[in-house]
Every structure is written in structure tokens, then in C-alpha cells.
Structure 1
């Protein structure tokens, strides 16, 4: 589904990764790990074709839909929270917005002279909304918002009045509502409370597509991913298992590397001593 082939990327003088290769298939849940500045967000942007690698290529299989949640939510103002959530759902979001305006017009005495025309258009727009599965989508949007901690009155609130943290939740809800083939989630647990994190864990476990996720919440990764792709010092390594298993395997690799280095140094010392002896 998503293929990273011999990719290298640098940022200024810093090498992020060299000759990195891995693939993510449908149903796989992958945790992308590494220190801050290691290049995790760069991988997301390359998958979304917002950045190009310096070498190699990143490809996404044809007709694969991607849902990318980042820490940059952009401008978000005007309209109800539920409408803003549905805004990423394609044509149905525009129809939903028009339907809301027509509902307001039906209740406006000042438009009494145009009521026949308004009623006619309302019927047409409502039929189109039903055809697109709009009512089911709105119900799903409300369910996701509730799962992310929104009280019923907040769902009906103007999204522009929400704080930055709550707007982040709206942005996350919008991506989850898309039901894409692959979810790319960059630190989705930021600004979430415990109840919302637990709800998100359940959502991810039931998600049937591919998932690539970054998170500083070790417990969250342990409960949601089945594979780790780690970026460390320009090297990208894949480990089967959750975060705890990854740390165990990484510790073993580091111990083995240290032992090998010590053996090499001991052998080098012996060679030097042997050469010195016969000088």
C-alpha cells in the first residue's frame, strides 16, 4: 500500500536518514519512532507528496485514500463543530451546509414571499443529502466527536469559538470520519484526556486499513501498534511487535554492537602488538 524505497533525506546539514526502505500494507499498524527532529514528520509529508526525498522514492498504491492528521490544523472558523467535522467528507459536506441554510430560511419570516421556492429547493437538497448518506455521516460525526470528549452542546457550537486544543480534536475527528485506506497520525494524543485516548485506542483497533502513527505516549503505542519503524542516527530499522518489544530488541542490538566493537578493538590491539614485536 505504502512503499519507501532506498530513501535519503537531509535537512540543512543534518542527515535525517540514508537509504531507508520499508513497506506498510493494509491492516498493518505501525509506530514511527525516533528522537525529536529525526525526520518522522518528513516521512509523513513525503507519503502525502508534500515533500520530495533527496534520493529514492516513496510510492502509494493507486486509488489509495490517505488521511493525514498533523499538528498544523490551519484556519478553522465559521459553522458548527459538527459541520466542520464533516467538511473533509467530500461533496456531502457542501450539501450539508446548504441544507442548514435552507432550514434557517424556512424559519425566517422575512423570507415568507420566497417560501415556495425555498421549500422546493429544500426538498431537492434533502434528497441529495440522503443519497450521499448524509444523515448516517452526520450521526457518525457526532459519535466520533463524542468519543473525543465533546459534550452535546459543544458539537452545536461555532467551531471558531473553540480553543486551539479543541480545534485539534475537530481536525482529528475530520480525519477519522474520512475512513481512508491509510491513516497517518502525527501525535494524535496531544490535547486528549484519558477517556478520549481510550476511545481512540478502540477506534484504531477496529480500523481495518493501514496505520502509521507517532506518539510520545509509550503505553498508547504498546496497545495500538504491532510493528515499530525506528529512525536513529540516519538509520531506519523495522521491528515486529509493540514498543516494549522494540526497546528489548534495540537493547540487544546495541549490546551486540558494543561486544563486536570490543572484539574488533581487542583484535586490533593484538595485531599492533604482534607487529611491534617483530619490528
Structure 2
């Protein structure tokens, strides 16, 4: 569904990706891990088109919708929490607010001369809104906001009066309400209490769409994702399992690589000793040259980073 093909990306001297490839398939729930500064946020930004790789391709099909929950929240004011959540719910939210504007226009005597056009537009918008399930929008919005810890008084209150943490929850509700094909979530549990985390876990597990998320909450990630993508050293490596599986498998791969590195170093040292010992012997010249050429062709194993 979303594919990164041999991407390269760097900022000045900081190299993030080197010929990195990765694919997020339909319906997959993937945890994105890596050291701070490895490029996790940059990966998200490339998916939504806010950045581009220096080389390589990022492919997102046109019909695929992407919702991005990020850690920086835009200004929210002048609406109720309910209206703010609905406003960010994609096409349905836009139709909802257009219907409200058209209803106001229909009751405005100053626009009586435009009434035929207003009524025609109202019919078109109402038909699409109903087709998309818009008349259940408010109840779905309240359900999501309740799940994220809002009571009815706060839902109907001024969004501008909320703290930064509660505004983060509103931003999350907006993304979830949009029902995108792919959810990108950057540390979704940061501002949630235990009850809201449990609700979010259930919500994400019930979704049929894809998910790519970062989280320092290991247990939350274990219960939600079925695949891990690790960014490290400019590469993206995938592991087919949850976070615990990733840690075990990564340790096994590192141990195997260290053993292979030690074996190769021993072999290289042995060959180098032969070359140094017989390099001045005419009778061994052919063998020496053969071994020198063989060493030059060997792909060196590097220790795990």
C-alpha cells in the first residue's frame, strides 16, 4: 500500500537513510522503532508529502487516505470540543459544516434571491452526507471523545479552555474520526490515562486499516502491532512479530553476526599472515596474488551497531 524504495535522506552531515526500503501493506499494524534522531518523524513526513527523499521513491496510491497524529498541536479556539473534533474528520466533517452553513443561509431573508441555488446545493450535500453515514457523525464523535476521557460537559465546552494535553486528545479524536486507510501515530499514549490507553488499544485492534506508530509504551505496542520496522544506521529492518519478538530476534541476529564477524576476522588474519610470509618468495608468487585478489573481493562483515 505504501512503499519506500531505496531512499536516501540527510540533513547536512546527518545521514538518516541510505538505500533504505520498506513496505506497509494493507491492514498491517507496524511499530516503528529506532534511536532518537534516527528518522522516524522524517519517515512520517515523507508519507504525508511534507518532505521528500533526496533519492529514491515514496509511493502512496492516490486513493489511499492517510491520517497523521503528531506531537505538535495546531491552535484550537472558537468552537466546542465536539465541533473541533468533527471539523477534522475529513470529507464528512466538511459536509457537516457545509450543511450547517446552508441551513443558516436558508433562514436568512437577505439571501431569498439565492434560495433556488441554496436549496439545490443543500440537496446534493445532504445526499452525499447521508450516503457516507453523516447522521451518525455526532454520536460517533461523542463515542470517540468519551473513549479518550472526555465527559459530556467538557465535550460541549470551549476547546480553547483546554490544556495542551487535552487538546492533544482532541487532535487524536479528529484523526480517528476520519477513518483513514492508514493511521500514522507518533507516541499516541503520551497524554492518555490508563482507561484511555485501554480504550485506544481496543479501538486500534478493531480497525481494519493499516497502522504505523511510534511508542515508548512497550506493553501497548506489544498488544497492538504485529510487525516491527527498525530504523538504525540508515537502514530499515523489519521483524514479523510484536515488540518482545523483535527484541529476541534482534538479539539472535546480533549474536549470529558477531559470530560470523569473528570467524571472518580469523580467516582474514590467517590469509594476511600467508601473504606477508610468502610475498617475497618467487615460488609462491601466484598463490600470493590469488589470495590477495580473493581478499579484495570478500564482502566484509561489520559488527552490529
Same fold (TM over 0.5): yes
TM-score by length of 2: 0.80
SS at 2:188's partner residue? coil
SS at 2:141's partner residue? helix
1:187 is the counterpart of 2:190 = no
CA offset at residue 256 of structure 1? Answer: 1.1
1:94 is the counterpart of 2:97 = yes
Check conservation: 2:65, 2:182, Cα contact below 8 A. Answer: yes
SS at 1:144's partner residue? helix
Whole-angstrom CA distance in 2 between matches of 1:223 and 1:143: 22
Check conservation: 1:83, 1:97, Cα contact below 8 A. Answer: no
Whole-angstrom CA distance in 2 between matches of 1:34 and 1:237: 10
SS at 1:146's partner residue? helix
Equivalence for 2:293: none
CA offset at residue 152 of structure 1? Answer: 1.2
Where structure 1 has 5 or more consecutive residues not aligned to the other structure, the ranges are: none
Whole-angstrom CA distance in 2 between matches of 1:60 and 1:77: 33
CA offset at residue 125 of structure 1? Answer: 6.9
CA offset at residue 211 of structure 1? Answer: 0.9
Whole-angstrom CA distance in 2 between matches of 1:42 and 1:213: 13
SS at 1:6's partner residue? strand
Equivalence for 2:126: 128
Whole-angstrom CA distance in 1 between matches of 2:41 and 2:249: 24
Report the RMSD for the aligned CA atoms in angstroms. 2.5
1:47 is the counterpart of 2:47 = yes
Instruction: String of CA shifts for 1:140-180, please: whole Å, max 9, x gaps.
Output: 00000000011111101100000000000000000000001
User: Quick check: which has more Rg, 1 or 2?
Assistant: 2
Whole-angstrom CA distance in 2 between matches of 1:43 and 1:248: 25
Where structure 2 has 5 or more consecutive residues not aligned to the other structure, the ranges are: 281-305
Most deviating of 75-84 and 14-23: 14-23
Whole-angstrom CA distance in 2 between matches of 1:36 and 1:94: 40
Instruction: String of CA shifts for 1:57-85, please: whole Å, max 9, x gaps.
Output: 10111211111111111111111000000
Whole-angstrom CA distance in 2 between matches of 1:161 and 1:97: 24
SS at 1:68's partner residue? strand
Check conservation: 2:168, 2:191, Cα contact below 8 A. Answer: yes
Whole-angstrom CA distance in 2 between matches of 1:230 and 1:266: 30
Whole-angstrom CA distance in 1 between matches of 2:167 and 2:37: 25
Equivalence for 2:218: 218
CA offset at residue 135 of structure 1? Answer: 3.3
CA offset at residue 182 of structure 1? Answer: 0.8
Instruction: String of CA shifts for 1:166-197, please: whole Å, max 9, x gaps.
Output: 00000000000000111111111110111111
- Residue-pair matches, total: 264
Equivalence for 1:266: 266
